[in-house]
Amino acid sequence: MNKKFNLYRLLPYRKLKCMENKTVREPSPFLSFVPVLVLVGLLFVTIRIFGNDALSGASQIVLLIASATCCLIAIGYCQIKWQTIESAIITNIADTAPAIIILLIIGALSGSWMISGVVPTLIYYGMGIIHPSFYLVSTCTICAVVSVIIGSSWTTIATIGVALLGIGHALGFSSGWIAGAIISGAYFGDKMSPLSDTTILASSVTGTPLFTHIRYLLITTIPSMLITLIIFTIVGFYYDAATTEHINSYSVYLKKTFNISPWLFIVPGITLVMIIKRMPAIITLFLSALLAGSIALFAQPQLLHEIAGAGIDGWGAKFKGLLVVFYGNTGIETGNIELNELVSTRGMAGMLNTVWLIICAMTFGGALTASGMLKSIISIFIRFMHRTVSMVTSTVVSGIFLNLTTADQYISIILTGNMFKNVYREKGYESRLLGRSIEDAVTVTSPLVPWNTCGMTQSMILGISTFTYIPYCFFNWVSPLMSIVVAALSYKIFKTNSTTFVSTQ
C-alpha cells in the first residue's frame, strides 16, 4: 500500500474542519473499539433478557448508550466539538431517508398483497407442486418463493416454515435437515426480495439503486442456491414419503378464506414489468400497493368488512378496511392457527421498530465517523486490501465479525457499509460490489449465530438448537464463499476512474 495514502480521505466527513485541526487527537484502534465493546456487551445482556422483543426498543436504547460513550471519548479525549459530531449524525440519518420511505411503503404493500389474495394465491398454487419424494428441495423452494413474495425470512419461517417442519418430522427427516432447508430458502428471499428491509438497507447504505443491487446479487446468489438445491435433491432420494395431509389442509383453509384465482397473478406480473422497466423503487412499490389494494375491493370484499369491524358497512367498510390494511395490523380468522399467523399483516406501523433501529444505528455510525474511531478501525482492515479478492474477503470477514459481535444484522449492514464505502470509492470500485459483498456476508449468516437476534428467533420458532441446524444451512454457508470465489475470478467486476460511485444500470 502507498505510504502516502491518506486515511482521512476515507471518511464521509473528511471535509469537516475539526478533522483537519492539528489539535485533534487521533484515537488508537484500542480506544476506538471501546464503544463497540460497550455495544456488544450491552446487546448480549439485552438479547438474553428481552429475547425476541429486543428490537422493540431495548436494542435502540443500547445503541444510543454506545453512541453517548463514543461522544464522550470524542469530546473529552479527541477534543472534537459537539457541533461536528451532531452534523455527522444528521448527515448519516439523512442518507437513510429513501430507505425509510421505502420501508413504510413496503409495510403497506405487504398488507395489500396479503389481503387482496395475491400472496395466498401464490402460496396455494406453490404448495400444489410439492412432491413428497422431493420434500427437502420442495421445502427450500417454497420458502424461497414465499420469502421473495413477502420479503421477510422471519414471517416465512414462523408460518409456512413451521407447517413444513411438521410435515418433515412426519416423513422421518431429522430436525437439522428440515431446519436447514427452511432457513436456506427463507434467507434466499430475505436477500433477494425488493420487499426485504435488509436488501433495501444494504442498497441504501452503499448508495446503490435497489434493483441494480438485486440484479448484481444474482451473480453470486443463483449459483449458491443451485448448489443448495442439488444437495437437498440428492439427500431427498434417500427418504420415502408418507403423507401430504398437512399441505392439503393448508390448501383447503386458504381456499375457504380467500377468493383464490389465477387472475390475481396480474399484480406480481405488472410489478415485475415495472421492475424490468427500471422504474424507481419507491414508485414501483407504491403503485404495486395501490394496485393490490384496488383489487382487494373487488376480490376480497368480505375480508375488508371483517377488518373494518362492526358499525359500518357498504363502501365505507371497504374503504376503512383498506386503509387499515395499508397502515395497521390485520388478523384474518381462517380456521387454522398456523395459517392465521401467515396471513396476518403489520402495515406501515409494523415497520416503525425497524425505522427506529436504523435511526439509532446511524447515530452510532455518525458518532464513530466524526470521532475518527471508524477511521482507526478501518486502518486495521485496509492494510490487507490490495486486490479485488482481498477487498471482498476483508468485507466478508468484517461483516461476519460484526454479526458475531453486534448480534444484529441491521447494525452489521450499516456498520460494514459505513466502514468500507469510501474505501471502495477511493479504489475505484462500483458501489454495487460492496452492496453484494455485504449481503453475501451479513444477511445470510445472521441466523447461524446463536446469540444474534436472527439465530435466537429462528431457533425458538422452530424449536431446534442453532447448533443443530448450522451444518445444514448450505445456502447460508455457500453465499459468503461464493462472493469470494466470484471476486477471485473477477467476473463482472469493473473498476472506474471516477472518485464517485458508479452504479451500472
Q: How many CA atoms lie less than 13 Å away from 303 in the CB half-sphere?
A: 32
One-letter amino acid at 459 equals: S
Query: For cell 473528511, what's the residue?
Result: 14
Residue 133: per-residue pLDDT: 73
Residue 440: per-residue pLDDT: 93
Three-state SS sequence of 404-431: HHHCCHHHHHHHHHHHHHHHHHHCCECH
d(CA 75, CA 100): 30
Residue 11: per-residue pLDDT: 42
Which residue in 497, 490, 430 sits closest to 213, CA to CA?
430
| Angle between helices 281-299 and 301-308 in degrees, nearest 10 | 100
Q: Is the dihedral of CA 237, 238, 240, 243 positive or negative?
A: negative
d(CA 62, CA 46): 8
The DSSP call for residue 505 is -
What is the mean pLDDT, run by run of 10 residues, along the chain of 505 residues? 37 41 73 87 83 76 91 88 88 79 82 86 72 84 86 77 72 85 94 86 87 92 96 82 63 85 88 77 86 91 85 82 89 79 80 79 82 78 76 88 74 82 83 92 89 76 84 95 92 64 37
d(CA 311, CA 67): 49
What are the residues facing 429 on neighbouring strands?
495
pTM for this predicted structure? 0.68
Query: For cell 388478523, what's the residue?
Result: 331
Which residue in 481, 273, 292, 318 sits closest to 392, CA to CA?
481
Q: Are 259 and 117 in contact (CB under 8 A)?
A: yes
Three cell numbers written together for 200: 433495501
Q: Are 186 and 147 in contact (CB under 8 A)?
A: yes
d(CA 38, CA 203): 28
Residue 244: per-residue pLDDT: 58
Three cell numbers written together for 126: 406453490
Residue 240: per-residue pLDDT: 58
Query: For cell 440428492, what's the residue?
Result: 234
State the Cα angle at 314 between 312 and 315, rounded to 5°. Answer: 105
d(CA 258, CA 269): 20
Q: Are 412 and 36 in contact (CB under 8 A)?
A: no
d(CA 251, CA 342): 13
Helix/strand/coil percent split, the chain, to 5: 75, 0, 25
